[in-house]
């Protein structure tokens, strides 16, 4: 297949959108702030069909399984993988915080901090606990699971529906075919909306730079650069190790999903590329049932970038406020963060809420210190979203390999021959 000229490729258009957005935000900040609806609108367009896509993909995936033992086996392995990777990310964030010492020397007086800016997050965090988390997964009605946008609620409804569809056998065949056809329609919608990615990235990045300015990073530059350094180390070392075990090149995988990474860079949201990621990972040789179960659930349970940020940010606040943390307190911190990082799924500003809820549960570090990182949250949020996306794709590959169902030959061929023309084939596959 003949590839398109580079200037017609989606990734190039997204890069151009980001560059123009940064330039506008720097030179004309007042005008740049008014571009915010472009980014928000693009995210809303994608968000409106994420629910149906998850439903259709999970239902067809589960209904296509040989038996329900397969579902339990895959789900169990996925949860074990999520837990291990979360602990590793939390520990690396903790170690990195000690090595880099981002908050050392700030000597902030708590009495001087204005906590009004974080009040909405602290109120949300107070509501985050095991009971509300579990009850939040259970929707009031079948339709409300989709209207709420809660991925876990949609996932639960989808699993129940897919299980029942499989259980009734041939009687459910017409429903299965309908859902499968609907899935093709929704994926085609995603690709149509994706043509607006450059506009969405432009609007989002222009607003960010226009509202906060490049100078807004200066007071906390050590924290920002330290955090991104840890993210790179985590991706190269940890994800690299997983890739090595699964016999694929990490960097070939990153090239394969470059368009999705660039979209996140512009929009700051990993949700907008969830359908894209599911499709690409399936093309890499992962069975559809595994992809359908692992990736959507990973958006709530496999947030490695977020976990890394939480422990480093807590250490930053402790150092900035001269708060001593004993070894036992830090171990408890990891255990608490393991729970709170799962309990804020579907909450607006989730990473910030997760962090706040952790400090409320573990009151050794002052919650008021959250004010110190409020200004940089938008900037670090992009990095953690990118790592979360990379990690969820790798999770599906790892679980598939662990379960012995990964088509390694297809994965090799896909990464070797299709990475350069992924955008072209990506669209053509959907139209078949």
For residue 115, the model assigns a pLDDT of 56
Domain ranges of the chain: 6-431
Q: How far, rounded to the nearest angstrom, does the alpha carbon of residue 51 sit from its chain's CA centroid?
A: 15
Instruction: Quick: pLDDT tens for 100-109.
Output: 888 777 676 6
Residue 406 confidence (pLDDT): 92
Structure tokens at 310: 């939480």
For residue 325, the model assigns a pLDDT of: 83
Q: Which residues of the chain fall short of a pLDDT of 50?
A: 1-2, 216-217, 219, 343-348, 419, 422-432
Q: What angle do CA 54, 305, 201 make, to 5 degrees?
A: 65
Extract long-range pairs of 121-124: CB within 8 Å, 24+ residues apart: 121/349, 121/352, 121/353, 121/356, 121/370, 122/356, 122/360, 122/367, 122/370, 124/344, 124/347, 124/348, 124/349, 124/353, 124/356
149 φ/ψ angles, rounded to the nearest 5 degrees: 75, 10
Q: What pLDDT is stored for residue 216 in this prediction?
A: 46
pLDDT of residue 356: 72
Q: What pLDDT, on a 0 to 100 scale, did the predictor assign at position 99?
A: 92
- Vertex 56: Cα angle to 51 and 59 (nearest 5): 120
User: pLDDT for 280-330, tens place per residue?
Assistant: 999 999 998 899 889 888 887 888 988 998 899 888 888 888 888 888 888
pLDDT for the residue 293: 86
Assigned CATH topology for domain 6-431: 1.10.3860
Looking from the CA of 39 toward its CB, the CA atoms found within 13 Å total 24
pLDDT digits (tens, 9 = 90+) for 169-225: 888 889 988 988 998 888 888 778 878 888 888 887 788 778 766 654 454 678 888
- In this predicted structure, what is the pLDDT of residue 422? 47
């Amino acid at each position: 297949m003949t590839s398109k000229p580079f200037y017609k490729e989606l990734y190039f258009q997204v890069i151009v959108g980001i560059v123009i957005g940064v330039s506008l935000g720097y030179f004309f900040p007042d005008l740049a702030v008014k571009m915010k609806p472009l980014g928000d609108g693009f995210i809303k367009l994608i968000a409106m069909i994420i629910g149906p896509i998850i439903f259709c993909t999970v239902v067809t995936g589960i209904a296509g399984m040989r038996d329900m033992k397969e579902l339990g086996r895959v789900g169990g392995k996925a949860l074990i993988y999520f837990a291990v990777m979360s602990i590793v990310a939390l520990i690396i964030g903790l170690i990195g915080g000690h090595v880099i010492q981002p908050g050392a020397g700030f000597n902030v007086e708590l009495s001087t901090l204005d906590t009004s800016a974080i009040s909405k997050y602290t109120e949300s965090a107070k509501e985050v606990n095991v009971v509300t988390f579990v009850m939040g997964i259970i929707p009031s009605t079948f339709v409300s699971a989709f209207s709420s946008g809660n991925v876990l609620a949609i996932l639960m409804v989808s699993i129940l529906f897919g299980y029942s569809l499989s259980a009734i056998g041939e009687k459910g065949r017409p429903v299965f075919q309908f859902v499968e056809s609907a899935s093709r329609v929704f994926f085609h919608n995603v690709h149509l909306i994706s043509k607006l990615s450059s506009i969405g990235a432009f609007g989002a990045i222009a607003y960010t730079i226009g509202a906060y300015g490049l100078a807004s990073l200066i007071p906390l530059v050590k924290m920002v650069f330290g955090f991104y350094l840890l993210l790179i180390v985590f991706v190269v070392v940890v994800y690299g190790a997983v890739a090595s075990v699964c016999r694929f090149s990490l960097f070939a995988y990153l090239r394969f999903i470059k368009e999705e990474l660039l979209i996140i860079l512009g929009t700051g949201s990993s949700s907008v590329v969830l359908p894209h990621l599911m499709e690409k990972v399936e093309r890499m040789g992962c069975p559809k049932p595994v992809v359908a179960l692992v990736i959507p659930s990973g958006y709530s349970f496999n947030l490695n970038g977020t976990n890394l940020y939480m422990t480093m940010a807590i250490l930053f606040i402790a150092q900035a406020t001269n708060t001593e943390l004993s070894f036992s307190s830090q171990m408890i911190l990891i255990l608490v963060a393991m729970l709170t990082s799962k309990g804020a799924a579907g909450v607006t500003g989730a990473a910030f809420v997760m962090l706040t809820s952790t400090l409320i549960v573990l009151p050794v570090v002052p919650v008021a210190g959250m004010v110190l990182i409020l200004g940089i949250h938008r900037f670090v949020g992009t990095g953690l979203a990118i790592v979360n996306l990379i990690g969820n794709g790798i999770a599906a590959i790892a679980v598939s390999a662990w379960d012995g169902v990964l088509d390694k030959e297809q994965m090799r061929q896909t990464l070797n021959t299709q990475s350069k023309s992924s955008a072209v084939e990506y669209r053509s596959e959907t139209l078949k």
